[in-house]
Chain A
């Protein structure tokens, strides 16, 4: 059989190209996902995971037990045990923590302004250079005691230059630190204002807020002290990220979805290719059986052919995937410069997985067609003309199966929506989609006729042509259907999710930056200056009055406004929708290392302005700064006069926010105002969202390519399969141009049908995903259907169909009638 095997492989190589391409693409797809995820992980590792860069393990306090750390900071390590461990590991350990300390400049004046005036936070810098995670912007890292680097945002805000000296700590622990460099921290997790060497940091070990949250360790941990847990570094970062994303590892979900879709599509395309291929060779197999090949021999030969194709294509796919993945990362970085994708480590597991999956997909996809081939009777060789299509329409089993899937799929989807189960969502979606695909041959003819009828002579002819072999037509359509469904579901899901994430953040941080004047009203000049600052989109002055409130020992502005919508990210809801009788406080703004708002949500507080006082219920929200918000009615109870005390600023998108903060802080200093901003938090959040969005778009692009190849593939094969039929048409008087046009119309009809169907199913899936997943994670989400983007998908899909038909149609038209009729 070896001769037969090799000869068959060689003889059908041109036709196997179709199957091979499908396998190559899906393997490449899996590998690209691996590389991109590895890149995105590296990107996130470089930002949020930066503190654990270069580390093999992370040690932290185990969850769910009484916190071993200092009372200030729950979830941190037992301080002396951690110090002991770090000393033992020496250069291979990097402690991560913070201490809040009083800080004064050289003249003895309190450092900084506003809330944190006279305060700074100090964190340690790793002893080993490779484990230092702070990004040096200028200057150098501290080399000895008495030196420190400062976070560049704080340095700008506090007008500190390299070479300045700062007195940190008080009394016995007071130390003069020379600023020798500026750093930027890629993450807010462990961020401090200043960083010093480890021995220097230990100097404040008895301070109330001194803590060590976790330890990054290079190499072996050795004996683990009591009350500590050890995690592999990469896992630790991923899990922490997942916890940040409301308990959902978005990557894992995306990975699952895309990998299964890629596999599904390729099984479809490969199975399709093989069944057409084998149908064409039915007579060969029959002849082999005549001259004495047993069923098992024929089956073995065919299986080996499939395995060879699968193996070669999988290898090629792996190479292509690695090349594409590594090529895409710089491209994504160039297109979205704020989205750093890191240099990926070679995802060995993905490569091997891709290879195995390619082989398995080919074998699985060839399994059914192979069985059919083997059932061929030797007599088939003797019939003058073997019919190529084994089944023309959907069989009864197929209809029953699709009915079963179309019932169980929606049931699973419904349960997924009720229970919020991602697994049920994916399995239900797959079942339903498979059901639609299986049902294809049953409804495709009617649909294609309905679509083709208004398209004139060619439309009708093409529709008749497509309707005549429903199975083939449905198969051709399937690849594009999958692609469009995926694209639509992804785009809709992403628009919904992104909108929800933005909204989620906007309600929590409605105001970008604020300037608060406690002792005098805001002047029109100051407001003008703020408005003129580059990077300010809008700014408004907010009326208020100074009040004293139980639970906080300093006067604070109490504000009311109807104009918040002009600057607030949440549309002003935080300021407008306040019930009379309540007071809203920004909990975070009142938190400092020394003191905290002594109010719990729902507490009754007394607010006093002059000699009037009102008892109000406290609502703790956040994101607008150190001021209380009340309803106008409440405000009127407190005072008759109101003056502007606060300026709220909305930053322009795309502006240099670092400079903006610097400029506004300058204005605040000059006018004696307190400046607060949430721009850094916003920038970091944007970066995370961008990484996810761009990875998703990258994956989407690949799935579109798969769909394109899939449809070109099946269309090409279907033309090949009908060569004799076309030759007959040509012999009967169809011109070349007419034949080409007919095929183009057919492709167009198919792609439009696939696109319409795919859009409907895709939006449906997105809705299920929204109900199951997004709405649960982010309560405020509303479903967003990005119609313009879907329009683009529609156009691309229709063009894809047309494009895919060009080559096969040309090939079909080139064959002379005589040549076509004598084809075997």
Chain B
């Protein structure tokens, strides 16, 4: 069983902007799917990865999506995150219908509203840890001011990687890489933070740290986190659990 470590790490930095944004949006749903389907291939090779998903993800909560391998967890997440378009149905994130966006608009939407933590290969190998954390701002063409730097530094400190900021990903352990990825995902305070098997590659102690950080992001910063996993223990960190089977929510 996993337990919280004491003494706890420094608190995650909550910014004024974050509070303001949260107050401004009065909906309680961060993202929703209506009759979402996804079909791969044609004819003989046709695979129905999603068969009509109806889903509302409440804001400020930690949701786990569980299910056996091939049940469509990753596909659902890709559709919710705007990485892929569904074959039918609609996806709404932060009040925006993703189906109405073209590739550029979708990309900019992702940049501003969604954060990612993947199982592996989260970081650009040629950038240092701190450059990786600041990448979303860089891509947005926003100037990286002292405030942003300070925020990145305090996020890194909270996640325990502040002494590794000048290192390249290849020089970091798997757990450290995941924590840098979380820091990057939190930097822009996205409406939704997606994590696909964020601890899948890690040993249990490191996995605990990473999951703990995600939960603290929900508790302390009011972030909405959606995590895909097939690990029962990992799912225990979540507030809600959605189970999937054969492309349907059960």
Contacts of B111 in A (CB 8 A): 291-293
A382 cross-chain contacts in B, Cβ below 8 A: 74, 78, 83, 118, 196
| Chain B CB within 8 A of A3 CB | yes
B66-102 interface (Cβ within 8 A of A): 74, 78, 83-84
Let me know if A10 is at the binding interface, CB within 8 A: yes
B104-A295 in contact (CB<8A): yes
CB–CB A293/B121 < 8 A: no
Query: Is B135's beta carbon under 8 Å from chain A?
Result: yes
User: A1 at interface (Cβ–Cβ under 8 A)?
Assistant: yes
- State in angstroms the CA–CA spacing of A7 and B131 once bound together: 10
Is A11 located at the chain interface by the 8 A CB criterion?
Answer: yes
* Residues of A2-19 whose CB lies within 8 A of B: 2-4, 7-8, 10-12
Q: Which residues of A contact B78 (CB under 8 A)?
A: 379, 382
* Shortest Cβ distance from residue A636 to the other chain B in the assembled complex, whole angstroms: 94
Q: Is the CB of B121 within 8 A of A292?
A: no
User: Nearest-CB distance from A3 to chain B (Å)?
Assistant: 5
Tell me the A291-329 residues at the B interface (CB within 8 Å).
291-297
B125 an interface residue at 8 Å Cβ cutoff? yes
Q: Is A289 an interface residue (CB 8 A)?
A: yes
Q: Are B126 and A379 in contact (CB under 8 A)?
A: no
Please determine whether B126 and A11 come into contact, CB atoms closer than 8 angstroms. Answer: yes
Cβ < 8 Å to A, chain B residues 175-194: 184
User: With A1-B138, A290-B110, A382-B118 as given contacts, are A295 and B124 in contact (CB-CB < 8 Å)?
Assistant: no
Q: Report the bound CA distance from A119 to B110 in whole Å.
A: 97
Q: Is the interface of B mostly helix, strand, loop or mixed?
A: helix
B120 neighbours in A (Cβ, 8 Å): 384
- Contact pick for A291, options B74, B121, B139, B196, CB 8 Å: B139
Q: How far is the CA of A399 from the CA of B221 in the complex (A)?
A: 58
Contact at A293–B116, with CB atoms within 8 Å? no
CB of A292 within 8 A of CB of B107, answer yes
Taking CB atoms, residues of chain A closer than 8 Å to B84 are: 377, 379
Q: Does A728 contact B (CB under 8 A)?
A: no
**Chain A interface mostly:** helix
Contact B127 A4 (CB under 8 A): yes
Is A378 an interface residue when CB atoms closer than 8 A count as contact? yes
* Contact yes or no, B104 A294, CB < 8 A: yes
Q: Among A230-238, A280-288, A596-604, which stretch is in contact with chain B?
A: A280-288
Which A residues lie within 8 Å of B128 (CB)? 7
Q: Whole-angstrom distance between the alpha carbons of A1 and B111 in the complex? A: 13
B108, A294: Cβ atoms under 8 Å? yes
B116 to chain A, nearest CB (A): 6
How far, in angstroms, from A752 to B110 measured CA to CA in the complex?
53
CB neighbours of B184 from chain A (8 A) = 291
Does A291 lie within 8 Å of B135, measured CB to CB?
A: yes
Question: Is the C-beta of A160 less than 8 angstroms from some C-beta in chain B?
Answer: no
Q: Is A381 part of the contact surface with B, judged by Cβ < 8 Å?
A: yes
Binary B-proximity of A86-110 (CB < 8 A = 1, otherwise 0): 0000000000000000000000000
Cα A289 to Cα B136 with chains together (Å): 11
B residues near A1, Cβ cutoff 8 Å:
138-139, 141
Tell me, in angstroms, the Cα distance from A4 to B132 when the chains sit together.
9
Q: Tell me which residues from 48 to 77 in chain B have a Cβ below 8 Å from any Cβ of chain A.
A: 74
- Chain A: minimal CB distance from B29 (Å): 23
Q: Does B24 contact A (CB under 8 A)?
A: no
Quick check: is A226 within 8 A (CB to CB) of the other chain?
no
> Could you tell me the distance in whole angstroms from the C-beta of B84 to the nearest C-beta in chain A?
6
Residue of B nearest to A293 (CB): B139
Q: Does A206 contact B (CB under 8 A)?
A: no
* Nearest-CB residue, chain A, relative to B131: A3
> What is the CB-to-nearest-CB distance from B113 to chain A, in angstroms, rounded to a whole number?
10
A640 within 8 A of B: no
With A10-B126, A288-B124 known as contacts, the answer to whether A4 contacts B138 (CB < 8 A) is yes
The CA-CA distance from A293 to B112 in the complex, in Å, is 11
B124 touches A12 (CB 8 A): no
State the CA gap A381–B125 with chains docked (Å): 13
Q: Let me know if B140 is at the binding interface, CB within 8 A.
A: yes
Chain B stretch 129-180: residues in CB contact (< 8 A) with chain A: 131, 134-136, 138-141, 170
Give the Cβ gap from B129 to chain A, nearest Cβ, in Å: 12
Report the separation of the CA atoms of residues A292 and B141 in the bound assembly, to the nearest whole angstrom.
Answer: 11
Question: Are A295's CB and B103's CB within 8 A?
Answer: yes
A7, B104: Cβ atoms closer than 8 Å: no
* Chain A contacts for B170, CB-based, 8 A: 824
Q: How far is the CA of A379 from the CA of B38 in the complex (A)?
A: 15
CB-based contact B83/A288 at 8 Å: no
For B, the interface residue count at a CB cutoff of 8 angstroms equals 33
* Separation of A291 and B108 alpha carbons in the complex (Å): 9
Complex contacts, A377 vs chain B, CB 8 Å: 83-84
Q: Contact string, A245-287, partner B, CB cutoff 8 A, digits 1/0? A: 0000000000000000000000000000000000000011001
B140 CB contacts on chain A under 8 angstroms: 292
The distance in angstroms between the C-alpha atoms of A377 and B121, with both chains bound, is 16
Would B83 and A379 count as touching, CB distance under 8 A?
A: yes
Chain B residues near A292: list those with CB within 8 A.
Answer: 107-108, 110-112, 136, 139-140
Given the complex of chains A and B, what is the CA–CA distance between A287 and B169 in angstroms?
14
Nearest-neighbor residue (CB-CB) of B112 within chain A? A292
Per the bound structure, the CA–CA distance linking A288 and B141 in Å amounts to 14
Task: Give the shortest distance, in Å, between B104 (CB) and chain A (any CB).
Answer: 5
Does the CB pair B121–A294 fall under 8 Å?
no
Inter-chain contact B126/A284, CB cutoff 8 Å: yes
Q: Which residues of A contact B139 (CB under 8 A)?
A: 1, 288, 291-293, 297
When distances are taken between beta carbons in the complex, the residues of chain A under 8 Å from B121 are: 283, 287, 381, 824
A377 to B124: give the CA distance in the assembly, Å. 16
Interchain CB contact under 8 A, A8 and B126: yes
Q: Nearest chain-A residue to B104 (Cβ)?
A: A294
Residues of chain A lying within 8 A (CB to CB) of residue B118:
381-382
The residues of A that contact B138 with a CB separation of less than 8 Å are 1-4
Q: A384 to B83: give the CA distance in the assembly, Å.
A: 16
Given A1-B139, A294-B104, answer yes or no on A12-B196 (Cβ-Cβ < 8 Å).
no
Q: How far is the CA of A379 from the CA of B116 in the complex (A)?
A: 12
Return A503 CB to nearest CB of chain B, in Å: 63
CB nearest neighbor in A for B132: A291
Question: Could you say which of A2, A10, A290, A824 has the most chain B C-beta atoms within 10 Å of its C-beta?
Answer: A290
B107, A295: Cβ atoms closer than 8 Å: yes
A:360-402 near B, CB below 8 Å: 377-379, 381-382, 384
Return chain A residues, CB-CB under 8 Å to B74: 382
- Complex CA distance for A8 and B126, rounded to whole angstroms: 6
Q: With a CB–CB cut-off of 8 A, which chain A residues contact B141?
A: 1
How far in angstroms is the closest Cβ of chain B from A305? Answer: 11
> Given the complex of chains A and B, what is the CA–CA distance between A1 and B142 in angstroms?
10
With a CB–CB cut-off of 8 A, which chain A residues contact B125?
A: 11, 284, 824
Is B104 in contact with A3, judged by CB distance below 8 angstroms?
A: no
B83 contacts A12, C-beta separation under 8 Å: no
Q: Shortest Cβ distance from A48 into chain B, in angstroms?
A: 58
Q: How far is the CA of A289 from the CA of B107 in the complex (A)?
A: 7
Contact of A291 with B104 at beta-carbon distance under 8 Å, contacts A7-B126, A381-B118, A382-B196 already known: no
Complexed CA–CA distance, A289 and B74 (Å): 18
Q: A378 to B111: give the CA distance in the assembly, Å.
A: 12
Q: How far is the CB of B149 from chain A (nearest CB, A)?
A: 13
Q: Given A7-B131, A287-B121, does the pair A293, B107 have CB atoms closer than 8 Å?
A: yes
Q: Let me know if B126 and A296 touch, CB within 8 A.
A: no
The smallest C-beta distance from A781 to any residue of chain B, in angstroms, reads: 59
- CB nearest neighbor in A for B84: A379
Give every chain B residue within 8 A of A378 (Cβ-Cβ): 83
Query: Which residue from chain B places its CB closest to the CB of A382 in the assembled complex?
Result: B118
B contact residues around A381 at 8 Å (CB): 118, 121
21 A-B residue contacts at CB 8 Å? A3-B131, A4-B124, A4-B135, A7-B128, A8-B126, A11-B125, A11-B126, A284-B126, A288-B139, A291-B111, A291-B135, A292-B111, A294-B107, A294-B108, A295-B104, A295-B107, A297-B139, A377-B84, A379-B78, A379-B83, A384-B120
Nearest 5 CB-CB pairs, A to B? A292-B111, A11-B126, A7-B126, A294-B107, A293-B139
Given A7-B126, A292-B140, A294-B108, 8 other A-B residues pairs in contact with their CB atoms under 8 A: A7-B131, A11-B125, A291-B116, A292-B112, A293-B139, A377-B84, A379-B78, A824-B125
